Amino acid sequence: MIRLSKILVPVDLHSSEGEAVDFGVSLAIRFHAQLELAHVVPPLRVFNFDSPERMDYLEMQACSEAKEQMPTLVPGRYQAAVHLQSIVKTGNVQEEVLEIIRNDKIDLIVMGTHRRGSLSRFFLGSTTENILRRVPVPILTVPQLNSEHEVREYSGVTMHRIVYAADLSSSTRLGLHYAAEFAKMFNAKLTILHVMDAFEPGYGAVEPISYLQEDRIKLKENVVVSMENLLKAEYLNGRYPEAVVIEGSPHQTITHFAEEHGADLVILNLQSKGFLERAMLGATAERVIRSARVPVLSLPIATADAYMDTRFAA
């Protein structure tokens, strides 16, 4: 069973963070977790457009205003329920957020993706993107929600369908476990989706196309069997999760499947032990997070390692 004792929502008070904060409050209530809101004021001396004393004064003023504004992001009647804690710090945003995660033993981060226009939709926002590359705990990225998925009551956030995009790597069991726990918590239908790269025969193919297609069919059958074996360990509310295998472009197929089937949450693994691979987030994961119209829960490999160490410790 997964435990979410502390949820962190980093906020930028100069832009809209409503969806991320709302979702953070809702999950904190649902999981009986403490909610921490964090705002980081960058050191103003680096801008060097006034005297050091004046810059220090402006920095203190920004911190003071942030401390007053932070609690107003959560209605008063919910603050006690989530044990709200507001944190205001000065420094590099990414480094300060990562320090909070380490020091406060955060279990989940909720961040907005800041993509309202056609151009901004391609970018996650530098803070979210940099933290995604380095974060050691699960992170839920929340795009601007449409009216169908809008959180209207903090205690009443609903998830009817969850899609776990499984890559069938060593971390698949961890992702499936998280997906199953969320499905149980919200009494949602769970689909485990694996996307096989579409078969595109080239001119240099040695074997006849019919033979290659037969091999693809057998491979797909083997993948289905592997997924069904994984699902035998997860029995949810009187039914097993659904296993689906589709051929296509992974990130496009995942996002299209989620939209077509009305998914409320997509869960995926960030496969990235190497520096270069993590720097790109993994091509499929990065593109899904950028393009998904519903929240995406990303599980870094550090989470999988910690989970396995805890579960199978002697």
pLDDT digits (tens, 9 = 90+) for 182-193: 888 888 899 989
Angstrom distances, CA of residue 295 to CA of 28, 46, 68, 83, 114: 16, 35, 29, 24, 12
| Spacing of C-alpha 210 from chain mean position | 41
Q: Which fold has domain 158-314?
A: Rossmann fold (3.40.50)
pTM for this model (two decimals): 0.80
Segment among 53-57, 112-116, 191-195 with least mean pLDDT: 112-116
Amino acid at residue number 270: L
Fold match flag (1-151 vs 158-314): yes
Annotated domain spans of the chain = 1-151, 158-314
Helices marked H in 117-166 — which ranges? 126-134
Collect all residues with Cβ–Cβ distance below 8 Å to 175 and sequence separation of at least 6. Answer: 164, 166, 267, 268, 269, 299, 304
pLDDT of residue 302: 63
Going by pLDDT thresholds of 50, 70 and 90, the confidence category of residue 312 is very low
For the chain, give the percent of residues with pLDDT over 90: 23
DSSP assignment letter at 238? T
Helices marked H in the chain — which ranges? 18-30, 52-69, 76-79, 93-103, 126-134, 172-186, 209-231, 250-260, 275-279, 283-291, 301-311
Going by pLDDT thresholds of 50, 70 and 90, the confidence category of residue 214 is low
Report the C-alpha gap between 89 and 168 in whole angstroms. 40
Report the C-alpha gap between 84 and 76 in whole angstroms. 10
CA-closest candidate to residue 15, choices 149, 151, 96, 126? 126
Query: Half-sphere exposure of residue 5, counting CA atoms within 13 Å on the CB side?
Result: 4
Instruction: Give the mean pLDDT of 32-48.
Output: 82
Report the C-alpha gap between 271 and 114 in whole angstroms. 24
pLDDT of residue 240: 67
pLDDT in tens, 269-309: 876 444 444 444 556 777 888 888 889 999 886 665 554 44
Q: How large is the C-alpha radius of gyration of the chain?
A: 21
Query: If DSSP codes are grouped into helix, strand and coil, which group holds residue 190?
Result: strand
Higher-confidence position of 285 and 210: 285
For the chain, give the percent of residues with pLDDT over 70: 67
Q: Are strands 161-165 and 108-112 parallel, antiparallel or unpaired?
A: unpaired
DSSP lists the bridge partners of residue 8 as 36, 109
Q: CATH assignment of 1-151, given 3.40.50.300, 3.40.50.620, 3.40.50.1390, 3.90.79.10?
A: 3.40.50.620
User: Are the CB atoms for 90 and 43 separated by under 8 Å?
Assistant: yes
